[in-house]
């Protein structure tokens, strides 16, 4: 992620963060307690995969954020 400016990373992740805050249970589970969200690549803004856990009704715990290729950014 060092190759991108903070503004680009924020732009890529803002939609994912909004989704995690409003309805995290709609994202698919990868294991019994881990879910996965993906952002989409738009122009020069990269796509990211976010792994997270829902701790309780008010808390989502971010576990991992990684850049994914354009081929992987489909849902």
pLDDT tens string 4-41: 788 878 877 888 999 999 999 999 999 999 999 998 88
Helix (H) or strand (E) holding 61: strand 59-68
DSSP state of 56: E
| pLDDT above 60 (res 64) | yes
Q: Where are the domains of the chain?
A: 6-68
Place of tokens 């290729």: 69
| pLDDT above 70 (res 75) | no
């Amino acid at each position: 992620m060092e190759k991108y400016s903070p503004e680009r990373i924020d732009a890529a992740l803002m939609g994912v963060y909004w989704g995690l805050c409003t309805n995290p249970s709609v994202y698919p589970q990868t294991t019994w307690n881990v879910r996965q969200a993906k952002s989409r690549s738009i122009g020069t803004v990269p796509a990211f995969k976010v792994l997270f856990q829902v701790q309780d009704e008010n808390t989502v715990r971010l576990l991992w954020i990684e850049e994914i290729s354009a081929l992987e950014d489909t849902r």
